[in-house]
Structure formats: C-alpha cells, structure tokens
Structure 1
Amino acid sequence: MSTQIAVVADADTVTGFRLAGIKEGHAVETPKEAENIIRDLIKKEVSIIIITEKIGDELREFIDETTGSRALPIIIEIPDKYGPSEERVEPLRELIKRVIGIELVK
C-alpha cells in the first residue's frame, strides 16, 4: 500500500491542504459524491484520507464499515471552516477531564 494522503472535503478545506502540500484533494458537495471518491481512493490504496466532520457524520455507517474491516486507509475527521461540531467538542472535553483531572472552559 502506498503512503499517499488524500483530502475529501469542501472546496475551501481542499484548497488549504493543497497549499500545505497535499497533492490529492477532492472538493465535494454531496455525501454520495464523497462516498464515491473515498471508494476510489481505497481502490488506489491511499493510506490516509482526511475528511471533514460534516462528511463523517453524513457517511458514518460507510466509514465505520470501511475502517472496521481493514487497517488502512486511516480516515481522519477534521473540523471544517466553521469549526468543530458541538457533538465532537463535548466528548473530547469529558475525555480530557477524565484523563488529566481538570475541566477545560470555553
């Protein structure tokens, strides 16, 4: 398997990653379009696929099936240009509180 990295996200996020040196970026507008591109990237044996949390939420079942049945690709979910989704912030805040014993405040 290659060590290639690809981004599947909105146009602004893809542009940012391209400026940072990631050559393979796919701007998508619909969850179906994102799923088709991710399937193609898996066939191309891309090792790391970066997607936005919004896409991850919309394709949760597909992503869980994909990552649950194989070691690669690793699918990493990041916040989009609007910031992290509230569902992601609260569990992370609780995990930090449990691990280091202090609570983070906004």
Structure 2
Amino acid sequence: MSQEIAVIGSPDFTTGFRLAGVRKFANVADDEKDDRLDDAVRETLDDEEVGIVVMHDDDLSHLSRAVRNDVETSVEPVLVTLGGGTGSGNLREQIKRAIGIDLMED
C-alpha cells in the first residue's frame, strides 16, 4: 500500500508541505510549467511509494490532455487539488475516488 504524499507545483506552493514533513516533491517554476509539469506529474504517478499527489488547482490547466486525463482518473495515487476556488463538489469527488465510497450520500 502506498503511503507517501507527494506535492507538485511552484516552490512557493511546495515549501509549506515540505516544512510539514512531505518528503516527495517536484518544484516547477511558474515560467516552466508548460514545459516541465507533464514530466513531473508522470514521474510522480509512476512512483509506487506515492499514494496521494497534491497540486494547485490552477496547475491542471498547464497539463496536456493525456496527462490531465491520467491524473483525473487515477485511483492510486489519487490527486488532490487545492486552491483556485475548488468547490465542495470537487472535494467530494476526490474523497470518493480516494476511499471508494461516498460519505455524503443524500
């Protein structure tokens, strides 16, 4: 079972997670996101130790269509996005995908 958390994003975004103890990270500067973000995400998805990938919601728009599809449909590791006005519906879907059940069924 994968137990590591990985964070991908700008150095400003990843620093807080690193200070909190996250050991796996990929710093991708804002001006390099169109060139390097796909590779960083692919490497992290292929890492068998990673169970959760954290990214900023705005960074998803910098991913190619294929990589974006991979992270959005990935069960393990599961992608959790933060910021960018992520609504509770999106968080609900992320939790459901991560644990396999909907905790907030109507």
Q: Give the TM-score range, shorter chain.
A: 0.5 to 0.7
Shift in Å, 1:33? 1.1
Find the aligned partners of 1:73 and 1:63 in 2 and give their Cα distance: 14
User: Structure 1: which amino acid aligns with 2:40?
Assistant: I
Q: Which runs of 4+ in 1 moved over 6 A?
A: none
Question: Could you tell me which residue of structure 2 aligns to residue 2 of structure 1?
Answer: 2
Find the aligned partners of 1:65 and 1:15 in 2 and give their Cα distance: 25
Pairs aligned (count): 86
Identity %: 24
CA contact (8 A) 1:67 1:73 kept: no
- What is the aligned counterpart of 2:39 among 36, 41, 45? 36
Question: Could you tell me which residue of structure 1 aligns to residue 99 of structure 2?
Answer: none
Find the aligned partners of 1:94 and 1:67 in 2 and give their Cα distance: 14
Q: With the length of structure 2 as denominator, give the TM-score of the two structures.
A: 0.66
Q: Does 1:24 align with 2:28?
A: no
User: Structure 2: which amino acid aligns with 1:67?
Assistant: E
Unaligned runs of 5+ in 2: 91-106
Find the aligned partners of 2:69 and 2:79 in 1 and give their Cα distance: 10
Find the aligned partners of 2:15 and 2:68 in 1 and give their Cα distance: 23
Q: With the length of structure 1 as denominator, give the TM-score of the two structures.
A: 0.66
Unaligned runs of 5+ in 1: 96-106
